């Protein structure tokens, strides 16, 4: 009797574990690289030290001023704003509690560093809070606004999940690799019915 009872208990636990695990499964997101890979460079600078004891909660995507910035995934614009530190920035909300931040967007008039450009030189035409975007869609332009002023132009890119920033580096590297593969996606020559690879 006891043995049968223990067997039933073991079976119940074995059956319950996968159910518990799936209930706590974490969502993931696949990103489209948010800038032209041919002109963008980045390293894993997540949590690098910054002034005032702050830590760097994103990765910097270095690129020339006015390089196009693309939506990293399908989503909705939930914020367009400006602050002393971030400069001009945009936040997209995606499915399942994911968000991406695009910070230090351009605020300079062409050929200047005046910080007085119209927002038409910051955001893609017609983009505003509530706009729906698809992955890879133009959303804005690289700049050096906010505390990036005087440094090299870049997009400070953040990836948030359920309200907390995560290191976006692995997601960005995967996106980078897919973008480069797509650039190089020339079908291999077919010889005698076989692909030569
Ligand atoms: Zn940054």
**pLDDT tens per residue, range 107-124:** 999 999 999 999 999 999
Q: Which domains does the chain have, with CATH numbers?
A: 51-183 (2.70.70.10)
The whole-number pLDDT of residue 150 equals: 82
Q: Give residue 138 CA to ligand 1 midpoint distance, Å.
A: 20
pLDDT of residue 10: 53
User: Distance between CA 169 and CA 158 in Å, rounded?
Assistant: 10
Alpha carbon of 156 to ligand 1 centroid (Å): 4
- What pTM does this model have? 0.82
Cβ pair 77, 129 in contact under 8 A:
yes
Kindly give the distance from the C-alpha atom of residue 80 to the centroid of ligand 1, in angstroms, as a whole number.
18
- Cα of 56 vs centre of ligand 1, distance in Å, is 6
From 165, 161, 143, 139, select the one nearest 72 (Cα to Cα): 139
Instruction: Tell how far the Cα of 60 is from the centroid of ligand 1, in angstroms.
Output: 5
> For 80-107, what is each residue's pLDDT tens digit?
999 999 999 999 999 999 999 999 999 9
Q: Is the pLDDT of residue 56 over 60?
A: yes
């Amino acid at each position: 009797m006891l043995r049968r009872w223990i067997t039933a208990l073991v079976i119940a636990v074995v059956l319950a574990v996968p159910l518990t695990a799936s209930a706590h499964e974490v969502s993931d997101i696949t990103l489209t690289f948010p800038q032209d890979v041919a002109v963008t460079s980045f390293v894993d600078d997540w949590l690098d030290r910054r002034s005032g004891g702050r830590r760097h909660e994103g990765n910097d995507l270095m690129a020339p001023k006015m390089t196009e910035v693309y939506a990293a995934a399908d989503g909705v614009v939930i914020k367009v704003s400006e602050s002393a530190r971030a400069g001009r920035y945009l936040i997209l909300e995606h499915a399942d509690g994911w968000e991406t931040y695009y910070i230090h967007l351009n605020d300079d008039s062409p050929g200047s560093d005046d910080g007085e450009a119209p927002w038409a030189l910051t955001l893609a035409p017609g983009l505003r809070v509530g706009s729906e975007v698809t992955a890879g869609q133009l959303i804005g332009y690289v700049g050096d606004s906010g505390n990036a002023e005087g440094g090299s132009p870049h997009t400070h890119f953040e990836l948030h999940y359920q309200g907390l920033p995560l290191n976006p580096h692995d997601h960005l590297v995967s996106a980078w690799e897919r973008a480069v593969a797509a650039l190089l996606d020339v079908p291999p020559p077919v010889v005698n019915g076989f692909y030569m690879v």
